[in-house]
Structure 1
Amino acid sequence: MTADFRHFYQKDWAERTALVAEQAQLSAAETALFKKHYDPKHREIIENYLTDYAVPMGVAVNFVVDGTPRLVPMVTEEPSVIAAASNGAKIVKRAGGFSTSVTQRAMIGQIVLEQVDDVAATTQLITAQQTALLAVADAAHPSLQRRGGGARQLRIRRLGQGYLSIDLFVDVQAAMGANMLNSMLEAVAKSIGVLTKHNALMSILSNYATASLVRASCRLPVSLLQAGRYSGQLVAQKLVAASTVAQLDPYRATTHNKGIMNGIDAVAMATGNDWRALESGAHAYAARDGQYRGLSTWTLTGQELVGTIELPLPVGIVGGSIKINALAQLNQRLLGVTTATELAKTMAAVGLGQNLAALRALVTTGIQQGHMHLQLKSLALAAGATTAELPVILQRLEQAPQQDLATTQQLIATLRQSKEETHD
């Protein structure tokens, strides 16, 4: 039987859940999960709303960024991410913490013209009217100027095949800025259409935020890197080698950068920022010279390991979903940030700290040693273990020849049976 989903978006919440339950043949207990995590406010945020999907939130500790201690909230379902970030930050803290810098903070949007026959003449027309066009942009969002922001620059790029991109640079102040930038772009596009007699193909922000680059670095005496039987000097050398491989090989660089973004995305989610935008921009920046490379680099200078990372982080502390997400606002207080720039700097430091911990583990004990204990926790919970049963189940699971769902379920059943026999 197929449910009727016509005009689904017009139906109320009860009708939607009933239709979904019918289509998927859900039990009453399964359908009840929708109501358990239901929030009426969220019907106004997304379309066809059913329920909330919860992701755990924790805090990474030990971060010192530009001399300021930071408690870093992170939202992630992946084990080891918060532990690794805290571990990397602990090492860096002993060396004085992370240093960061931001040279510019602006969002970039594109107005794309097509079938431009005389590129030079069109470019000249637009360039001559740049001041007036920037004024048009500001008039589309006057409150931004009052807060100290506004349109800053127009850049014209020839894309080939008759396409021209007019790039608008806007200082969006504390916001992520997507909506205000798109409004400004559409206003400028109309003026350019009148000026050049070319209608815009599209006007849209770019998530390749090269005008919002953030840099973080740290300098570590090699003695801080000692791990088990591995001397600090050897760990540093191996870490530099691993960093080099991530610059040479896109297969390795992809995983290298995924680890970095584990941390950055988790902070983005915790603060109500658009982590998909950050992901797309970061990976584009990793391929800016034509080859995809690691976003961070590690070098050895005498007895010091030097780590650096640079990537676009166009984040905000106001606007978007932040204003209606109480936890996002609370997490800003946990972080202690008061500007979008401070948030971006902290996120870059998190990415570098995450990378340090991952590479140090990779070149010494291997990534699985610490990771597997946390994975086994997830396995035990998925198999139905209670939090009270976890310590015993984990101990037995670590000693088991096979560590899978069936084995874990059998261990839980055995434990519960032994408890019943004890009570009898």
Structure 2
Amino acid sequence: MAHSTSRIPGFYQLSPADRLAKVIELTGMGETVQAHFADMGNVSPEAADTMIENVIGTLNLPIGVATNLIIDGDEQLVPMATEESSVVAAVCNAARQCRASGGFHTDTSTPVMIAQIQLVEVPNPEFARLKLLEAREQIQRICDATDPVLLQLGGGFRDLEVRVLDDMLVVHLLVDVRDAMGANAVNSMAEAVAPSLAAWSGGKSQLRILSNLADRRLARARATWHLDEIGGEAVRDSMLSAYRFADVDPYRAATHNKGIMNGVSAVVLATGNDTRAVEAGAHAYAARTGQYRSLTHWEVDAEGNLTGTLEMPMPIGLVGGATRSHPTARYCLDILGVENADRLARIVVAVGLAQNFAAMKALATTGIQKGHMALHAKNIALMAGAEGEEVAYIADLLVQQGTVRVDVAQAALEKLRNA
């Protein structure tokens, strides 16, 4: 669709309703579309307008609750926001199958984030590197002075790293951000200390920004699945083969790790955290050996049971951003019952491991499509125009026939209505 113009002076100053009216006017989409966008569900226009720029509406995603999880001995309900069929069901099934062995056991490192300061035009970088390391205490004073509240909460500057890369120096500030995701805190510290670093090194500061490869802020989960719960040695060995495939082939690993992130990102999104930051860190961490590999590791214990582990960066928080401004995110945190970011990170990584188990088991047994398409059949029925009780009827029919396609659904719906 060609628009008459995309130049709308003062658009950002309008209210969400007036912006929407302007877009409808320029696109000619009409009152039905305008009414659809105007219905923002459980987020007020005022709240939405504080989160991003030029707001005209919201996109509501389903929130499902994963059941059956035991995490560090505690029964846990987990809200997940996703548009993809079978994701929530997969976690429920995987969690149920490892309840007999105690569920998921987790661990985390301290919540340390990295801020990077790039120094260029340094005449003698190796010499300057040692000068900066010697200035650690001065650097700490500057950094901690930028966020006294973080200091009071037990966080703050923890350590310094200086790397020589080509003709530049890269300084890492390691900062304990406590219950925050931490981007604002570490960015502020980087900005504050950059002029001093430039003066001490004899160079010039350029980029001053956090790194989303949060490899000092790791979350870990492990679980055991008994042979009788998963269907015996043949299923176990097929799953191990699937894991080895992902660990040596980046083409397989990309889809394998995407499956992990199906679970991880759904919980991160439901709690108002930054899905892009978590995903970027996860995929970079998967390539830390020089080859992109599986984030999970799968083995067999002494009794022949299947054991799985997942370790990955988890830069998430409970303060700041949408975790506080989005009412649904706050209620999801209430469902979780978490009081700190550490517990949330443990839950998220456990869900990621459960998701990976379920995906590998499906691939190793019935194939991924059977379960996925059975759940997807309702979407296809809706796309074909089914309404009310027709949806379940058409979906069941598609699954029974083993053909989940819109054209087949349309034909079945027409036959049903004619009858």
TM bracket, shorter-chain basis? over 0.9
What is the 5 A alignment of 1:77-226? 77-160=83-166, 162-226=167-231
Is the aligned partner of 1:5 residue 2:45? no
Q: 1:64 to 1:402 in 2, by over 3 A?
A: closer
| Partner SS for 1:104 | coil
User: Which residue is equivalent to 1:32?
Assistant: 35
For residues 331-364 of structure 1, the C-alpha deviation after alignment (integer angstroms, 9 at most, x for no partner) is 1221122111111111111011111111111111
Is the CA contact (8 Å cut-off) linking 1:268 and 1:275 kept in structure 2?
A: yes
TM-score, normalised to structure 1, is: 0.93
Is the CA contact (8 Å cut-off) linking 2:111 and 2:217 kept in structure 1?
A: yes
- The one-letter amino acid paired with 1:127 is L
Number of corresponding residues: 412
Tell me how far apart the structure 1 counterparts of residues 28 and 6 of structure 2 sit (CA, whole Å): 14
What is the 5 A alignment of 1:14-413? 14-37=17-40, 39-160=45-166, 162-226=167-231, 232-302=232-302, 303-399=304-400, 403-413=404-414
Q: Deviation at 1:190?
A: 2.0
Mean Cα deviation higher: 401-410 or 331-340: 401-410
Tell me how far apart the structure 2 counterparts of residues 13 and 318 of structure 1 sit (CA, whole Å): 26
TM-score, normalised to structure 2, is: 0.94
> CA-atom RMSD, angstroms?
1.7
Tell me how far apart the structure 2 counterparts of residues 411 and 17 of structure 1 sit (CA, whole Å): 39
Is the CA contact (8 Å cut-off) linking 2:98 and 2:226 kept in structure 1?
A: no
Is the CA contact (8 Å cut-off) linking 1:3 and 1:19 kept in structure 2?
A: no
Is the CA contact (8 Å cut-off) linking 2:47 and 2:326 kept in structure 1?
A: no
Among all aligned residue pairs of Structure 1 and Structure 2, give the percentage whose two residues are the same amino acid.
42
For residues 255-313 of structure 1, the C-alpha deviation after alignment (integer angstroms, 9 at most, x for no partner) is 00000000000000111110100000000000001000010011123312111111100
Q: Deviation at 1:399?
A: 4.9
Is the CA contact (8 Å cut-off) linking 2:64 and 2:79 kept in structure 1?
A: yes
Mean Cα deviation higher: 278-287 or 12-21: 12-21
> Unaligned 5+ residue runs, structure 1?
227-231, 419-424
Q: Deviation at 1:401?
A: 8.0
Is the CA contact (8 Å cut-off) linking 1:215 and 1:345 kept in structure 2?
A: yes
For residues 168-223 of structure 1, the C-alpha deviation after alignment (integer angstroms, 9 at most, x for no partner) is 01111111111111111100112212323322111000000011011111122222
| Partner SS for 1:210 | coil
Tell me how far apart the structure 1 counterparts of residues 74 and 407 of structure 2 sit (CA, whole Å): 48
Tell me how far apart the structure 2 counterparts of residues 385 and 294 of structure 1 sit (CA, whole Å): 40
Q: Deviation at 1:20?
A: 2.0
Tell me how far apart the structure 2 counterparts of residues 365 and 329 of structure 1 sit (CA, whole Å): 38
Is the CA contact (8 Å cut-off) linking 2:122 and 2:202 kept in structure 1?
A: no
Tell me how far apart the structure 2 counterparts of residues 358 and 265 of structure 1 sit (CA, whole Å): 16
Is the CA contact (8 Å cut-off) linking 1:4 and 1:19 kept in structure 2?
A: no
Mean Cα deviation higher: 11-20 or 316-325: 11-20
Mean Cα deviation higher: 255-264 or 8-17: 8-17
Tell me how far apart the structure 2 counterparts of residues 221 and 315 of structure 1 sit (CA, whole Å): 32
For residues 311-336 of structure 1, the C-alpha deviation after alignment (integer angstroms, 9 at most, x for no partner) is 10011111121111222122122112
User: Which residue is equivalent to 1:422?
Assistant: none
| Partner SS for 2:58 | coil
- The one-letter amino acid paired with 2:266 is A
- The one-letter amino acid paired with 2:234 is L
Q: 1:249 to 1:407 in 2, by over 3 A?
A: same
